[in-house]
Amino acid sequence: MWQIVIYMFSKACEYGIKASIFIAFSSYNGTRVSLKAIAKEINSPEAFTAKILQDLVRHDVVSSTKGAYGGFEIEKTLISSIKLSHIVNAIDGDAIYSGCGLGLHICDEDHPCPVHHKFKSVREELKDMLENTNLEELALNIKSGASFLKV
Amino acid sequence: MWQIVIYMFSKACEYGIKASIFIAFSSYNGTRVSLKAIAKEINSPEAFTAKILQDLVRHDVVSSTKGAYGGFEIEKTLISSIKLSHIVNAIDGDAIYSGCGLGLHICDEDHPCPVHHKFKSVREELKDMLENTNLEELALNIKSGASFLKV
DNA sequence: TTAAAATAGGATAAAATTATCCGAATTAAA
DNA sequence: TTTAATTCGGATAATTTTATCCTATTTTAA
């Protein structure tokens, strides 16, 4: 038996979000984490995860240190200010969650696609959620065992 | 300048939904529509659209007639009973809109991923919307000019 | 009966996404 | 100063999604 699932995010985004949460979690303990440790923790392919982390570094979502004892971290005071939307934007570009559900170039109140109004609240809720959920709360839930990064 | 957009649906689904709406719209007028007419109306690549229509035919979402004066149609009495979820399922498989947002294999109340609860209402609203929106209302909005299939 | 107009479906190609590999550069410790 | 542990980044490969092409089959009208 198998199931097909509709994903909200690309694999790249999934890995990016999970990696960021784990880095935030570790940074609270003052520990820098290596690519290897991240990939193991979030159960992702190492080399691909490396690419995504490079994106996140370029966009200042996380910071990196090269060399032995190097790795990735997030400055403690910044953790609560990083929203899911920052991560998604860093990876998938300046995303517009309000893009037309059916791919019309123009889709607004005046010229709506067939599902424009139907989707309105879903889109808005998604946007709102991404823009208001920060890394701190997500990391704390990992710490307390309230949520999990793999399996 | 350019924008990157996060899509809710695959291209295949987008075309499938738009094609179904147009076929429903035409079927109210008693007119069968050809692949060529559909692709033109919804602004989609013809050959790819053909594949998607074949899927929809196999899953009894629309019916087809071969040969001259053939084309696609939906029996009038069925139009209101066809939901968006039927179309999405026909194209992307038996979809579970409630799949984990971060791709965890197990993700439920007891073992939630970091965004499980945050996503809960978005997922539920999407599912609800897909399962309760039928082709009749969408086709009527095209007819009245309240919504559009292209541009 | 033939010709034209359609859908059906197999084969293939192009593009995008996901994934891997490897050498270069950097850093800290021994 | 050397070595080991790292990130960085370019090149490439594999997979999935999107797209095209072509032939076979069906159907209707002339």
Can you tell me the distance from the alpha carbon of A39 to that of A52, in angstroms, rounded to the nearest whole number? 11
What pTM does this model have? 0.93
Q: Is residue A5 part of a domain?
A: no
Which residues span the domain enclosing B25? Answer: 11-143
Q: What is the DSSP letter of A4?
A: E
Supply B135's token pair.
Answer: 């082709």
Predicted pLDDT at B95? 67
Question: Which CATH number do you get for residue A109?
Answer: 1.10.10.10
Res. A6 pLDDT band, cuts 50 70 90:
low
* Arithmetic mean of pLDDT over chain B: 92
Predicted pLDDT at A51? 98
Res. A3 pLDDT band, cuts 50 70 90:
very low
Can you tell me the distance from the alpha carbon of A17 to that of A55, in angstroms, rounded to the nearest whole number? 12
Q: Show the 3-state SS of A22-51.
A: HHHHHHHCCCCECHHHHHHHHCCCHHHHHH
Q: Is residue B2 part of a domain?
A: no
Q: Which of B31, B9, B3 is nearest to B129 (CA)?
A: B9
Predicted pLDDT at B92? 86
Q: Is residue A91 part of a domain?
A: yes
Nearest-CB residue to B111 (from A6, A115, A148): A148
CB A3 to CB B99 under 8 A?
yes
Q: Is residue A150 part of a domain?
A: no
* CA–C1' gap, B7 and D24, in angstroms: 37
Per the CB < 8 A criterion, the answer to whether B123 and A90 are in contact is no
CA closest to A7 among chain B residues: B101
- Residue in this structure with the two tokens 């050959």, named with its chain if needed: B47
Q: Is residue B112 part of a domain?
A: yes
Structurally, how many domains does chain A consist of? 1
- Does ipTM top 0.85? yes
* Strand ranges for chain B from DSSP E: 4-5, 63-65, 71-73, 95-96
Nearest-CB residue to B6 (from A4, A97, A146): A97
Q: Indicate the SS3 state at residue B96.
A: strand
Predicted pLDDT at B1? 41
Q: Is residue A117 part of a domain?
A: yes
Chain B 33-52 residues in 7 Å CB range of strand C: 33-36, 47, 50-51
Q: Is residue B150 part of a domain?
A: no
Predicted pLDDT at A1? 42
Can you tell me the distance from the alpha carbon of A16 to that of A20, in angstroms, rounded to the nearest whole number? 6
Q: Is residue B5 part of a domain?
A: no
Q: How confident is the model over A40-93, as pLDDT tens digits?
A: 999 999 999 999 999 999 999 999 999 999 999 999 999 999 999 999 999 987
